[in-house]
Structure 1
Amino acid sequence: YNEKILKWLVEHGYDVGNHTMNHPDLLTIDQAQTEQEVGGVYEKLEEIIPGKYVPIVALPFGSPYDLEHPNMASIFQGTFNGKPYTTKSTLQVAWEADASPYSNAFNPTFLKRIRAYDNNGENFDIQMNFDRLNTSRYISDGDPDTIVYPESEQASLGETYEKKPIPYTPAE
């Protein structure tokens, strides 16, 4: 049944990634076990939906919490059953939305994922995160050659990929 679900998700435009075989806290296992947890899922995905999954690991419990942890190396690259794998990015568990890809605080290998739960706009629920975007989001003016950003974020503006930066003042 899981194979049917995976195929349905891909056929309907969903991205399917890796969340480990057994959902362990990756802080509590060694690098060899980490390779089994991550590589085992990649092997299964390649068997069921070859080439149609994203090489991203949603970290169980959001751990490890930093890129310096020894298991991160085995999350990003390893070998399982003689087959090498490479992970391009990881997803943390976070309380708030990640920085814009145009911010120098953005790290494409260690992305925040916000929890999608409802708590009446409190305790970093989905509504609170959407409300916070009103004063912090980078917006589009429809021109693919520009990046429009909050004026208050000037100092954090990172690489703009040869786009013309345009500051704006958010409405109060």
Structure 2
Amino acid sequence: MKIACLGWGSLIWKSGSLPVAGEWRHDGPSLPVEFCRVSDGGELATVLCMNAPAVPVMWAWLSETQLDLACRALRQREAIPDERCDDIGSLLVTGRPTGVIASWAAQRGIEAVIWTDLPPASASIEGRVPALDEAVAYLNGLTGEAREHARDYISRVPAQIDTPYRRAIGETLGW
């Protein structure tokens, strides 16, 4: 099975144990991504956010040919416990595909697609999207290594992930 992984954050520059075969490509489907998850590392990470405007994400082929093993590899790379298997998205492309991801994948001969599907999170509440001013204030309040880590994360996210929050962070904090 030909499996691809979608990416829009650290997975692109730090794939770890994920069996990526080749380079990350820039012509992924356009999905609603935003910097709206305060992650374990303290950065404001990119995640799917249904009220965000769509941006073209990146994708890479995987050398793994079994969908369950590909999902497991992504879950391990993301340090997502097995009981949170819903935090890995997957789509088996069959028949007459409908929807953004399925149509995009079918055009490229991709048979299955996986992605990290962690929810937004702020103020220690999973599923809560921080308001734009909250997100900027959160980042502005970071100091030392945490601030440098957050700035590094934002600077490494590919430029095509051009979101309202990213623009506001750039204008306000100069990142």
With the length of structure 2 as denominator, give the TM-score of the two structures: 0.23
Larger Rg: 1
Name which structure has the greater RCO, CA cutoff 8 Å, separation 6+: 2
Higher strand share: 2
- TM-score of the pair, normalised by structure 1: 0.23
